Copies of this chain bind each other. A is one copy, B any other.
Amino acid sequence: MAHITKISPLAPKKFPDLPPIAGVSFSTAAAGVKYSGRTDVMLAHLCPGTTVAGVFTRSSTRSAAVLDCQRKLGSEASGAAAILVNSGNSNAFTGGAGQASVDALVQATAESLSVSEDRVFTSSTGVIGERLPHERIIETLDGLTKTLSEEQIAEAAQAIMTTDTFAKGATAQCDVNGKTVRIAGIAKGSGMIAPDMATMLVYIFTDIEMAQSDLQDTLSELTEPTFNAITVDSDTSTSDTVLLCATGQSGATASRNDPAFKAALKAVMQDLAHQVVKDGEGASKFIEIRVTGAQSDSDARVHAMSIANSPLVKTAIAGEDPNWGRIVMAIGKSGAAADRDKLSISFGDILVAENGWVSPTYREEDAALIMKAQDILIKVDIGLGSGKSTVWTCDLTHGYIEINADYRS
């Protein structure tokens, strides 16, 4: 990936210290799927009793690995479990060979770890439409199995990167029934990110004990305001996956509505979602779009995403131009209800427009100052109701063109 020359300016200062999650161990290897000189496979081993929940891309052309994971979530199989992920090749749109590769990887992993095939989840990320050289991955399984360690989650985050410029991790803890519950997650994703899907690869581990159906409901509910509320370029991958694994090793048990666990899990999911946006291809600004006053929450989401995905809005922000006219345009085209004369728009705390026109207190130099910051907050009140939604995106710069006009070369 010779075109990746520098780390996103929006990257966190360092990879966080992720605590070991009792019952989960990791290992990584360099299989040479596509890249050389780096790891490209990660294995996670999950202790017996671990429950696994997932959300996946809704693409109608989703990959064999995604279809395979979706089938297995409902399985009654028990015992230990495993997650095997490779980067460099997504094994998507590879016809019958795609499923054959998944089958081969699952079978080999199940044998190496003595787990049921129904408890082996795989993901692949990278180029679409090229046969996955799964033999190379299988050759690394022996070593992967022997080097599993609770301390390797940071290395796992490295191994799953594609065009990412930094590894992504997040953690939180909470108290449940007087016991400490730990959550640690990793993610990859920087382009082909859009809402309404599990828009990247994310693996989150916790030592809480929770029934699979409760875990699934919790994950699904919290995906809406986190991973489904981000967009880089409106494009949606064929492969993307969020898996949440609960080992039960903390001794704390909860059901779907435990407020402390939900708050902690949401924090981890939101942190990872923001990191994906902050690694948006070419991103130089992190943008929060907060829409209120819409006729419904779903109308608010439509407006917010229309703003977030507008190339004209995103390029204006790249140019540090407080071009609120383009925000009016994006609201107007969204298809959700709006009334030109009831809109109000703010950049940060600067009220820009209200009552169908520029605010009498607005001075462009104030807004221009706000646009120079790295984090940009755009607030829009539609003035019609109480629907609200917040989404996050990044700007559209020359870097995006550079990375994407030459990805396969």
Contact = CB atoms under 8 A, between A and B. Distances in A.
Interface stretch (A74-82, A211-219, A329-337): A329-337
Nearest to A59: B332
Contacts of A129: 324-325, 328, 353, 357-358
Contacts of A396: 311, 401
A5 interface: no
Contacts of A406: 319, 321
Contacts of A330: 235
Nearest to A60: B338
- Number of copies of this chain that the complex holds: 2
Q: Which of A92, A93, A128, A318 has the most CB of B within 10 A?
A: A93
Given A398-B401, A400-B315, A323 B235 contact: no
B128 A236 contact: no
Interface residues of A, number: 69
Nearest to A362: B129
Contact of A235 (B60, B92, B329, B355): B329
A130 B59 CA distance: 42
A191 B312 contact: yes
Contacts of A323: 407-408
Contacts of A128: 325-326, 328-329
Contact of A407 (B92, B316, B331): B316
A93 B234 CA distance: 26
Interface in A209-245: 233-238
A61 B343 contact: yes
B357 A405 contact: no
Interface in A352-377: 353, 355-358
Nearest to A318: B405
A333 B315 CA distance: 23
A298 interface: no
Contacts of A398: 398, 401
A92 B324 CA distance: 12
B407 A329 contact: no
A194 interface: yes
A349 interface: no
Q: Which 7 A-B pairs have the closest CB atoms?
A: A128-B325, A95-B357, A319-B405, A61-B332, A59-B332, A315-B404, A236-B333
Given A60-B331, A61-B331, A127-B325, 18 more contacts: A59-B329, A92-B325, A93-B353, A94-B357, A95-B357, A96-B356, A128-B326, A192-B329, A233-B311, A234-B234, A235-B311, A235-B312, A236-B333, A238-B328, A311-B396, A319-B405, A321-B405, A397-B401
Interface of A: 57, 59-62, 90, 92-98, 127-130, 191-192, 194, 197, 233-238, 309-312, 315-316, 318-319, 321, 323-326, 328-334, 337-341, 343, 353, 355-358, 396-398, 400-401, 404-409
21 contacts: A61-B329, A61-B332, A62-B340, A90-B325, A92-B328, A93-B328, A95-B341, A95-B356, A97-B357, A128-B326, A129-B324, A130-B358, A192-B312, A235-B333, A236-B333, A312-B404, A315-B400, A318-B405, A319-B404, A323-B408, A400-B401
